[in-house]
Amino acid sequence: MALQINTTNEIGISTSYHKISKINIDNDINIELSSYINKSYRVLEQDSETKAEETKDLHVGITFAQDYSIVKRYYTFPLDKESEISFTELYTKLKALPDFKDAVDI
């Protein structure tokens, strides 16, 4: 799951594909959102992750997946301990923010 919406940050970098890359839950819900120029860069990242996984047991040295996101954003939401947490719910919370109010789920 991800969000599609064209955004431009304060220094002029435009992105259109946004996915939750990390979640940390303690007293709040902390989200890292990775933003890509478009979905094709996320596909490149997934291919890189697959290649890194395939070669990790070949003992050819250390391999790392390439991060193709160009912007990381961080959000904190209050934790409701009575509610279940799901990716769908977290993306709904993001879409309630002004930057993502017109985003489309993909």
Domain around 13: 3-39+68-105
3-state secondary structure of 53: helix
DSSP 85: -
Query: Given CA atoms 86, 91, 94, 96 in this order, what sign does their dihedral have?
Result: negative
In a domain, 52, yes or no: no
- Tokens representing 51? 């290649």
The contacts of residue 54 (CB under 8 Å, 6+ apart) are none
State the amino acid at position 72 in one-letter form: K
For the cut 90, the answer to whether the pLDDT of residue 30 exceeds it is yes
Q: Which whole number is the average pLDDT over 48-56? A: 78
In a domain, 87, yes or no: yes
In a domain, 60, yes or no: no
pLDDT band at 59 (very low <50, low <70, confident <90, very high): low
Specify the long-range contacts of residues 41-50, CB closer than 8 Å, at least 24 apart.
41/17, 41/68, 41/69, 41/70, 42/2, 42/17, 42/68, 42/69, 44/68, 45/69
Q: Global pTM?
A: 0.83
In a domain, 53, yes or no: no
81 or 101: which leads in pLDDT: 101
Number of domains in the chain: 1
In a domain, 24, yes or no: yes
In a domain, 29, yes or no: yes
